[in-house]
Amino acid sequence: MSGSLPTDWDDVVAAANAGTRDAGQWRSLRTLSGPGPLLTFEGRDVVSFSSNDYLGLASHPTLIAAAQQAAAEFGTGSGASRLVVGGRPIHDRLEAALAAWKGTEAAVTFPSGFAANLGAIGALVAAAGRDRTVVFSDELNHASIIDGARLSRARVEVYRHVDLDDLAQRLAEHAGQRCLVASDAVFSMDGDVAPVAELAELCAHHGALLVLDEAHAVLGPDTPRPGRTVVVGTMSKALGSVGGFVAAPRPIVDLIVNRARSLIFTTAPSPVDAAAALAAVGLVRGDEGQHLTERLRANVALFRPGHPSPIVPVVVGDERRAVGISNALLEAGYLVAAIRPPTVAPGTSRLRVAISAAHEPSDVIELRDRITELTGVPHG
């Protein structure tokens, strides 16, 4: 057999790694200590502006106490898929709380938000018929939505970012087919928001099902709850725990329980994580949650007035420059992730500033000013 492709797997891996290094896209994992946002890295303190712990609940004493109690009562692991080994009462209580929070009839939890999107989209498309279903996906959707659409094996139509006219035209072109529209509510790399009310109205007009991922929507937008909206969310960000969920009308949740492969064939969220998430939902829906949300909103306004979410991008263009600025900020005591291809398009590498209610306003202002110095562009 002739050809220049390597046939030995050691050669394949070495060539792939060399290509990543040559492209300047090599990544490595950092290890940091501490509860956040104040962490320790290589023996010195750094303030993290890279975490999605938007309300600072991951180290909240109420969540820690709930997790400890659940570990003592139920153990640290679920043991298997809930359809095999059954759930724990803490799972039932969490799902009831999530449904009440999101204003839906029911909810079901997954080990991650990624698994929730894969499971929901896949189950809905399989029920509708892959050959008769079209999935419409915003071009800047999260990878979990993209992969869910691809793995569903339905036809996928990618519409221009938050362009309702483009989406309406594509929906009209597929009249008579079953249509599912999937979108982030807040987009994870730009921190901008989808026009969710208009999306819901457009879907209702065309008889399409709307799947809306609210993973980053801690400051809104508020999602309409008509019968044809499926809400995907996460416990891994603003709720300070780990896991994902789908909240929807009861028949849709029943369908997902029976059809979602990423729920059926994986171990259930641990009782510890479920208990922490349940405590977080209680806090978020109460006075303390409102206070934390307003503190978060105020911190975002300090960095970039009028920005609608806690994800604030600082686009610098060249990926090596983005990495250089990120490293300079780390030397100054601020951990800010440099996001580059393939996560974002070439020429749009950026600093992704993730702001939390746990940040001190003085740290937000200091980071803003240091980024202005390093980039030469005001960011206030």
Residues annotated catalytic, as ranges: 188, 216, 237
Half-sphere exposure of 26 (CA within 13 A, CB side): 8
C-alpha span between 147 and 122 (Å, rounded): 10
Q: Is 49 helix (H, G, I), strand (E, B) or coil?
A: coil
Find, among 262, 273, 265, the residue nearest to 236 by Cα. Answer: 273
Residue tagged 């983005």 (tokens): 322
Interatomic CA distance for residues 256 and 120, integer angstroms: 6
Beta bridge partners of 293: none
**Nearest residue to 281 (alpha-carbon basis) of 97, 108, 149, 158:** 97
Number of Cβ within 10 Å of residue 316's Cβ equals 23
| Residue 220 exposure: Cα atoms within 13 Å on the Cβ side | 11
For residue 372, give Cα distances in angstroms to 45, 314, 329, 334, 376.
22, 10, 11, 14, 5
Task: Say which residues have a Cβ less than 8 Å from residue 256's Cβ, sequence separation at least 6.
Answer: 108, 119, 120, 123, 124, 246, 248, 263
Question: What is the distance between the alpha carbons of residues 305 and 263, in angstroms, rounded to a whole number?
Answer: 40
Dihedral of the alpha carbons of 169, 157, 129, 117, in degrees to the nearest 10: -120
Annotate 236-287 with DSSP letters as a single string: SSTTSS--EEEEE-HHHHHHHHHH-HHHHTSPPPPHHHHHHHHHHHHHHTSH
Distance CA 62, CA 149 (A): 37
Q: What is the CA radius of gyration of the chain?
A: 22
Query: Rounded distance, CA 212 to CA 196, Å?
Result: 8
Distance between CA atoms of 314 and 375, rounded to whole angstroms?
Answer: 9
